[in-house]
Chain A
Amino acid sequence: MSRCPPRYRGHVFSLVSSSRPSAQATLRILRPLLRSAPGAWESSEPLERVVARAESPAVAPCTLLEVAGARPIVEADTPTVSAFLDGVQRSRVLGHHDGTPLVYATVAAAIRERVDRSLHTWREPVVRPLLLVSQRALGAVWWHQLADAGIPLADIDASDDTGEASDIHPHAYRARALAQVSLEREQLERQLAARWCSEEARWLWIDGGISGNIALEVHARAFGVVKSHNTLYGDADSVRRVLALREGERSAAFLVGHRLRRAVASWYLRWRAPMAGDPLFGLVRVEVVPPPAVLDADVPATVLDEFSWHCDRLSAAILLERHPVSLPDTRWHTLAYGVYAVESYLKALIGS
Chain B
Amino acid sequence: MTTLPVPVASAPRLPLGRVVATERRPNTPHTFHFWTAIDAAVGIGTIVRVEGSTPVDAVIPQVYGVVVEGFSYSDLESPLHDVLGYDGQPARAIPVPTERTEIRLYTAQVLRHVPEEPLQPVPMGQVYLADDHDVAMALRMDGYITGAKRTGIPVGVYRAGGMKSPILLDADFLVGPEAAHLNISGVSGLATKTSAIEWLLQSIFTHFPAHRGTVAAVCFNVKGPDLCFLDQPGQLTDADREVYDLLGVPASPFERVRYYAPYTARGHSLNTLRSHPDLAADVTPLTWGLSEVLQFAEVLLNKDDVDAKADALIDFIRERVVGRVFEDAGLARRHQVQSFADLDAWFRDVLRTLEDSSGDTWRTHHAATIRKVRNRLSNLSTRCAGLVTDDGLASDMPFGSFEDRAVYVVDVANVEEDAQDLVFARVVSKLREHLERRDLGVDHVIVFVDELNKYAPHDGADTYVRKMLLDIAERGRYLGLVLFGAEQFRSQVHRRVVGNAGTTLYGRMDADELATPGYQVLSPAVKARLATLDKGQLMVRHPHFTQPIFVRFPRPAVMTGREGVERFPQAPEPTVAQAVTRDLRRLDESIELGWVQQTIMLYDEPVVLAARNAVLRTRPDHVKAAFTRELQRRAAPAPRDAEAVAARPRALRPFAPDEYGG
Residues of A within 8 A of B (CB): 75, 77, 79, 81, 114, 117-119, 320-321, 323-325, 327-328, 337-338, 340-341, 344
Contact = CB atoms under 8 A, between A and B. Distances in A.
Contact of B97 (A320, A327, A328, A340): A320
Nearest to A345: B101
Contacts, number: 52
A323 B85 contact: yes
B94 interface: yes
B642 interface: no
Contacts of A79: 97
* Most chain B C-beta atoms within 10 Å of own C-beta, residue among A75, A338, A341: A341
Contacts of B97: 79, 81, 114, 117, 320-321, 323
The main secondary structure of chain B at its interface with chain A is: loop
Given A77-B95, A320-B95, A327 B101 contact: no
A344 B98 contact: no
Contacts of B85: 323-325, 327
Interface of B: 75-78, 81-82, 84-85, 94-101
A114 B75 CA distance: 17
Nearest to A319: B95
A327 B99 contact: no
B81 A119 contact: no
Contact of A337 (B77, B82, B95, B98): B98
A129 to B, nearest CB: 22
Contact of A328 (B78, B96, B99, B101): B78
26 contacts: A75-B95, A79-B97, A81-B97, A114-B97, A117-B96, A117-B98, A118-B98, A119-B101, A320-B95, A321-B98, A323-B94, A323-B97, A324-B85, A324-B98, A324-B99, A324-B100, A325-B81, A325-B82, A327-B81, A328-B78, A328-B81, A337-B98, A337-B100, A338-B98, A344-B75, A344-B101
A320 B98 CA distance: 10
A117 B99 contact: yes
A75 B100 CA distance: 20
A318 to B, nearest CB: 11
* Most chain B C-beta atoms within 10 Å of own C-beta, residue among A75, A79, A337, A344: A337
Interchain residue pairs A-B with the least CB separation, the first 4: A327-B81, A325-B85, A328-B77, A79-B97
Contacts of B94: 323
A15 to B, nearest CB: 14
B544 to A, nearest CB: 40
A19 B75 CA distance: 31
A341 B98 contact: yes
Contacts of B95: 75, 77, 320, 323
Contact of B96 (A77, A324, A340, A344): A324
Nearest to A118: B99
A273 to B, nearest CB: 11
B58 to A, nearest CB: 21
Given A323-B96, A324-B82, A337-B100, 12 more contacts: A75-B95, A117-B96, A117-B97, A320-B95, A323-B85, A323-B95, A324-B100, A327-B76, A328-B78, A338-B98, A341-B101, A344-B101
